[in-house]
A and B are shown apart, each in its own frame.
Chain A
Amino acid sequence: MKRLLALACAVAGLVVLAPLVSGLSSSADEQIRQSLESGNADPKSMSVLVFSPDGILFIGDSKGGAVFAVETKAERNDDAEPIQLANVEAAIAARLGTKAEEVMIHDLAVHPVSYEVYLSVSRGRGDWESIWQLPNHVADAGILLKVTHDGAIEEVALDNVRFARIALPNPVAADKKHPFMTELSLRTDTITDMALSGDTLFVAGLSNEEFASALWRVPVPFEDGTSATTVEIYHGAHGTYETHAPIRTFVPYELGGEQHILAAYLCTPLSLFKVKELQDETHLRGRTIAEFGSGNYPLDMVVVEGETSDRIIIANSNLPLIIVDSDDIEAFDGQIIEQPEQYSAGVEHVKRSGTGIQQLDLMDNRFLVTLQRMPNGSLDLGATPLRRG
């Protein structure tokens, strides 16, 4: 409880008005539903989970180089309190017949209807031994679990469900290795993050192109016409343009009446891409607007809407929560094109307590749901109320 209070402090003052408007209308959701067919969805690795507002689960499958849309069963639960569960890894380990240190949670998503917490999980962390053992990097998430309101952990079966699958064009080949972590196939980074906006599912990751970092735009419901744009940004901490490093986490965000992708990279630049410039089979350079500092891995990002401006909240591996005000992004018309003198640079941002937060999602506009590595080593599922105002 004390721990949760600490987190509450971290985000006190965040002002929330409305849920993040990035989803589909329910009629669009109905269209997706109609496009699904019964069968066994068999993602090879559940790297990324994203829900539509109505509860269609999009699963990014890095190893399979594909995205699944799966219908989920959920009971409406408007009055539900957010689910909190200490030491989630131990509870999952008990269910999977193993020890907590063998459990890895790859992604978290809060079901928008039932508010149950969905987790893609692997048992075992693969052969890869690195201090950077973070989700999306080791082992294949082969099991989908949910935490229910009574704190139980149940499997979400993917056989005999209504689903659709679409292959991403030209995902990075399985035999391409990470430049210095040579045990690591780049295939694990085929899909690093996804976000739904209108009738488009944006997918970030690695393509098989020479400039590998890619943003795909997948039409929803799935149909032909996925566009693939390779992207690069200037990375101040490295003093160079990054063409290989994938976007780690991103959100679609409207700025000045134009849809953008606000993307964070390893080590830790924040960059903007204009969605209208994400054309198929083209290469696009983004505008780097901030450097949050090196030695860090941005893990997850959400937008909390406010009355006058929004807050972009970024969870990090080695830095605390970073919060950026949308007004500050609007006001910043420059870009970083040379190595900054200071550790961080660019758009104003504040750092708040909240180290060790590995996963973020929103429960409506009411709660920030987190998976946080606590000082005692336990990975806790928690929720922090977001005050309206």
Chain B
Amino acid sequence: MLELTGASPDRMMVRLGPFDGAADPSPNAVSGVIGSDVIRVWTGRWSPPSGSDSCRHPNAQPTVLGRVMVDGSDLVFLPRLPFLSGQVYTACVARTDLDDFAERSGVSFVWPGHAVELTEPVMWLVMSMSAQPVGSAPTVTEVWPEEQLVPDNLLRLYVHFSEPMLERDVEQSVRLLDEQGIEIEDAFVAIPNGLWDPSSTRLTLFFHPGRIKRGVGPRERLGPVLESGRQYELVVGGDLSSRRGASLETEVRRRFEVGESDRRSPRSEAWRLASPDGPNGELTITFDEALDRAQLETAVVVQKELQPGVYEVVAGSVEVSKDARIWSLTPQTSWLPARYRVTVSSSVEDLAGNTPLRLFDVAISGIEAGSRPGSIRRSDEPQSAVEWFFEVSRREGGASDESEGQVE
């Protein structure tokens, strides 16, 4: 018999059987890609006529393009293009094809202790990709910022999905509603095919900057998108679908409140580093205000000094607190006795797009209190806004700060 052991848009896994005893999933004599004709796959449902000894389609329909590989005890068919939902496929394995393969390659299908003996000359199965592809529907896992209260000049929202999504225009699918459920037109910048991260799991929504910056046309004409003291709801439509063709099914709503404008640069001199308190301890940085979480992923770099001036990035898992004010790193391997450097890029932005060095929006009428006159844009922006060093001592395995935060 031919048993379907797994199916997803990018693969069909089958197992040959039955064997004497259970098939052992440990590595076998054959592995990797073994060509294309050991499993033959066709669209549609059909069965070989009885007495047939080869996989031959009654209407000579061509097979689906793909490759076959061996994975443990499974034969895996990898289609050239993903299997489609709603489409029926028939897979067929013939003893003659296995024999041909064995002859060609000099290896036979041997699971430990079991040479493959097909009980019948031809075995087939019919697989149907259900309208909702195998597995659960994709979900929205997070929306950043997570804080309920955001400034009225919030620059971006990030929507995270549980799996890679189909990149397409999102204007029709992603909407912003006010308290009355009335849609706010032109809230986000329209970007062809949406602005997705390389893994297609994070969608960035830019509030229209022309409606954030004071004194520019769109804001004068349409007003700001968000107004302090009001509530809004982001609606992500259920029609967004993943690359494997599964849609969200239900729309996702995320409500948030809007507070005062944030027209101050993050004050990097107020950021604090807490060095790890043990060989596997967390390194944490506390910021003076919520920062852009997506940017924090690359803005903070922890390096170990190998020799003076030569550094290696410390790998580990990074957590950012819900309020996006605390960044922490748990190292993959223990902190070793060495000097470590921690840097935070000067281009990291707060929720309103202000960096330690410049404001996103400067009032035409004058510079507001709390901003940094003359620092709207500097071509020679340094790489890092803050640089700290700390040393892990040999004796304790713990760490001690060598220096306070040094503000550029």
B-contacting residues of A (Cβ < 8 Å)?
A: 91, 93-99, 123, 127, 143, 152-153, 155, 174-175, 185
Contacts and interface: CB of A to CB of B under 8 A. Distances in A.
A97 B192 contact: no
A155 B64 CA distance: 11
B347 interface: no
B81 A123 contact: yes
26 contacts: A95-B62, A95-B63, A95-B80, A96-B80, A96-B81, A97-B41, A97-B64, A97-B65, A97-B79, A97-B81, A97-B83, A97-B89, A98-B43, A98-B81, A98-B84, A98-B87, A99-B87, A143-B80, A152-B62, A153-B62, A155-B80, A174-B192, A174-B193, A175-B190, A175-B191, A175-B192
Interface string B49-71: 00000000000011111000000
Given A127-B168, A185-B192, 10 more contacts: A95-B63, A95-B64, A95-B80, A96-B80, A97-B41, A97-B64, A97-B83, A98-B81, A99-B43, A153-B62
B109 interface: no
A97 B64 CA distance: 5
Question: In this complex, which of B43, B61, B62, B63 has the most chain A Cβ atoms within 10 angstroms of its Cβ?
Answer: B62
A22 B89 CA distance: 46
A63 to B, nearest CB: 11
A36 to B, nearest CB: 25
A96 B66 CA distance: 9
Question: In this complex, which of A96, A152, A185 has the most chain B Cβ atoms within 10 angstroms of its Cβ?
Answer: A96
Nearest to B41: A97
Given A123-B81, A143-B81, A174-B192, A95 B168 contact: no
A96 B61 CA distance: 12
B65 A155 contact: yes
Given A127-B168, A174-B192, A185-B192, A94 B80 contact: no
Contacts of A155: 65, 80
A97 B168 CA distance: 23
B192 to A, nearest CB: 5
B42 interface: yes
Nearest to A93: B43
Interface of B: 41-43, 61-65, 79-81, 83-84, 87, 89, 168, 190-193
Nearest to A187: B192
Question: In this complex, which of B63, B65, B84, B190 has the most chain A Cβ atoms within 10 angstroms of its Cβ?
Answer: B65
Nearest to A183: B169
Contacts of B190: 175
Contacts of B84: 97-98
A148 B43 CA distance: 21
Question: In this complex, which of A94, A98, A153, A155 has the most chain B Cβ atoms within 10 angstroms of its Cβ?
Answer: A94
A54 B213 CA distance: 58
A120 to B, nearest CB: 14
Question: In this complex, which of B84, B190, B191 has the most chain A Cβ atoms within 10 angstroms of its Cβ?
Answer: B84
Contact of B42 (A91, A94, A175): A94
A77 B65 CA distance: 26
Contacts of B79: 97
Contacts of B192: 174-175, 185
A63 B374 CA distance: 42
Contacts of B89: 97
Contact of B87 (A97, A152, A174): A97
B247 to A, nearest CB: 14
Nearest to A173: B192
The 10 closest A-B pairs by CB, nearest first: A97-B64, A94-B62, A95-B65, A94-B61, A175-B192, A174-B192, A95-B62, A96-B81, A123-B81, A97-B79
Contacts of A99: 43, 87
Nearest to B42: A94
Given A175-B192, A185-B192, A97 B43 contact: yes
B91 to A, nearest CB: 12
Contacts of B63: 94-95
A94 B43 contact: yes
B372 to A, nearest CB: 34
Nearest to B44: A94
Contacts of A123: 81
Contacts of A143: 80-81
A385 to B, nearest CB: 27
Contacts of B81: 96-98, 123, 143
